[in-house]
């Protein structure tokens, strides 16, 4: 994706058995009338292509159990942080005319080295893609020798990211700024918005099992980065009614994590329940009665396995 970096092709959606419109896995009928239209954004912990029991899918299923008709457009992509969510919201989400946008983020905004880049909104994966494109493909004839000659005999094109002219503050401040911008955009377009500060192992009151502690390892420097980010981010979340601190969502659960941030299906279930509880408390479990463009053409969902 020229703007966001990582993205899924139509082939990848089909290979993973997902109904989709470009950029979104679809749960429900996007052309149905009178249904609650939800867009979810996030990174790999939201991604609906790779995870066949993602929390957005479970959100759709749990809503159905409560008699709420919905369609969930899952725009999560592995690696995305709040900056990519913001850009995707501007470009891809607004045309969907959703009733509600839910972002689920935090982990990918920590950006510990070597993922950190001097231009805050530039995705580190996008930087890698551009560097590969500038360098050109590897030779299929004696690739190591050709690479060596290229490095020593020819000047190599270089991608240099020009740092922002103004400081963006800490990682938590950058995350909060992006979330506030997304809320402002949604408010301007009559869309409800909630951000959930996602849980991560080692933050909050969740008690790790012995198996988790043995299996999941993070360096002390990474743990300090996440601890610093979440300490500040949780304080910021308390200041805004559209940011939900969900770091304690697993407080009563056991053996939830697959790694330091990805969870098992039971964890995604707990996340979907927490989100529905918040929507219910706010009275948001219904489609908004706002004027819509009735001439909106069909979104032409591509069914799984057929292009």
DSSP string, 142-190: SHHHHHHHHHHHSPPP---PPPPSS----HHHHHHHHHHHHHHHHHHTT
> What is residue 39's predicted lDDT score, i.e. its pLDDT?
98
Q: Give me the mean pLDDT over the 185-212 stretch.
A: 91
> Has residue 21 got a pLDDT over 50?
yes
Residue-by-residue DSSP string for 8-28: --HHHHHHTT--EETTEEEES
Predicted TM-score (pTM) of this structure = 0.85
Q: Which of helix, strand or coil describes residue 217?
A: coil
**Chain mean pLDDT for the chain:** 85
The band of 112, judged by pLDDT with boundaries at 50, 70 and 90, is: low
Q: State yes or no: pLDDT of 226 exceeds 70.
A: yes
Q: Are strands 24-27 and 20-21 parallel, antiparallel or unpaired?
A: antiparallel
Q: Find the angle CA(80)-CA(85)-CA(90) to the nearest 5 degrees.
A: 145
The three-state secondary structure class of 220 is helix
Asked whether residue 61 carries a pLDDT value surpassing 50, the answer given is yes
**pLDDT tier at 295 (50, 70, 90 boundaries)?**
very low
- Average the pLDDT over 189-213 and give the result: 90
Model confidence at 209, pLDDT cuts 50, 70, 90, reads confident
């Amino acid at each position: 994706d020229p703007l966001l970096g990582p993205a899924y092709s139509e082939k990848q959606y089909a290979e993973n058995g997902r109904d989709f419109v470009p950029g979104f896995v679809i749960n429900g009928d996007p052309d149905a009338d009178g249904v609650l239209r939800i867009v979810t954004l996030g990174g790999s912990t939201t991604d609906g292509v790779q995870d066949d029991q993602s929390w957005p899918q479970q959100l759709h299923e749990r809503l159905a159990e409560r008699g709420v008709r919905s369609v969930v457009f899952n725009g999560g992509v592995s690696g995305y942080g709040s900056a990519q969510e913001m850009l995707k919201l501007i470009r891809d989400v607004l045309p969907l005319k959703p009733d509600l946008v839910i972002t689920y983020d935090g982990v990918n905004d920590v950006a510990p080295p070597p993922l950190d880049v001097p231009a805050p909104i530039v995705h580190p994966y996008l930087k890698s893609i551009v560097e590969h494109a500038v360098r050109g493909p590897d030779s299929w004839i004696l690739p190591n020798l050709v690479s060596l000659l290229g490095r020593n005999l020819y000047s190599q094109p270089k991608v240099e990211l020009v740092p922002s002219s103004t400081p963006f503050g800490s990682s938590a401040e950058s995350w909060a700024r992006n979330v506030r911008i997304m809320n402002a955009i949604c408010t301007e377009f009559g869309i409800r918005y909630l951000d959930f500060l996602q849980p991560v192992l080692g933050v909050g009151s969740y008690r790790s099992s012995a198996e988790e502690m043995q299996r999941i390892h993070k360096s002390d420097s990474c743990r300090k980065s996440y601890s610093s980010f979440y300490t500040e981010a949780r304080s910021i979340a308390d200041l805004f009614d559209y940011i939900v601190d969900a770091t304690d969502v697993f407080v009563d659960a056991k053996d939830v994590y697959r790694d330091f941030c990805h969870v098992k299906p039971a964890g995604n279930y707990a996340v979907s329940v927490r989100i529905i509880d918040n929507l219910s408390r706010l009275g948001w479990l219904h489609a908004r009665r706002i004027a819509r463009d009735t001439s909106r053409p069909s979104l032409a969902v591509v069914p799984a396995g057929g292009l």
